[in-house]
Structure formats: structure tokens, C-alpha cells
Amino acid sequence: MLVNLNFKPMKDKSKIIRTWKGWTLLENAQTYEDMLIKKVFPSVKQRGVDGLEKVNVSTAQHRDEVEFLIVLQFESLDAVKQFAGEDYEKAFIPDYAKQVLTRYDDTAEHFILKAELEL
């Protein structure tokens, strides 16, 4: 049986997906999650960063820590540079956020969004 999917090729604009990971102790996970949602990304919006379209916060609990995967969608590479600076591959981590992270990636990865599927 064939299933019809709503397929949206990204012809008009090349969206950029930025991924980054950080880890906290179990007891700091909720604090960090709240910090991301209530402080970090609202402050990015207040800075006037244009072109940041979506932020996804995902977690994986391990034995004694929680891994955070942050996925951001930007309208263009210029928007990424407005967010992170000219050295845009460098991770964007405010100092206050570093206080609850046990470790983190020093750099972010960037991908071109090719298509979206709505199931």
C-alpha cells in the first residue's frame, strides 16, 4: 500500500540547520532546560537576531547525566552569522549557561535543509 506524504522541497530558500550538544548532571537538567527556554533564547530574540525560525530542545538521559541536543533552523547562513558571529562554527554558550553544563561541544555543525516531510 502506498502512503501519500506531503513533500516540501526547499527550492526557494536554503534553510540552515545548526546542531549542538551539551551535558549536565541529572540534578541540573531541569535548570538548564528552563534556562534555555526562559533566558537564553528569549535574550537572542531581544538582541534582534533575525532569521532564527525554530529551536528544538531534545534530551537523552544517561546513567548520571542528561545530554541536550539543540537544533536551530535559520533562514540563511547570514542569519547564523548574526546569531553566532563571523566565526559561526564556534558554539554559542552564555557564561551563565556554562555554569550548569558539565561538558559541551566547542563547535556547532551546520547542514542545508533539503526537504521537509509532513506525515
Q: What is the pLDDT of residues 62-113, one digit of tens each?
A: 999 999 999 999 999 999 999 999 999 999 999 999 999 999 999 999 999 9
Classify 32 as helix, strand or coil: helix
Q: Given pLDDT bands bounded at 50, 70 and 90, which one contains residue 118?
A: confident
Q: Which residues pair with 59 in a beta bridge?
A: 68
Is residue 11 situated within a structural domain? no
> Considering its fold, how many domains does the chain have in total?
1
In a domain, 7, yes or no: no
Asked whether residue 8 is domain-assigned, the answer is: no
Rounded to two decimals, what is the model's pTM? Answer: 0.87
Q: Which domain covers residue 90, as residue numbers?
A: 23-113
Parallel/antiparallel/unpaired status of strands 65-74 and 52-61: antiparallel
Q: How far apart are CA 95 and CA 65, in angstroms?
A: 20
Name residue, grid cell 541529572: 26
- The answer to whether residue 39 sits within a structural domain is yes
Residue 12 lies in a domain: no
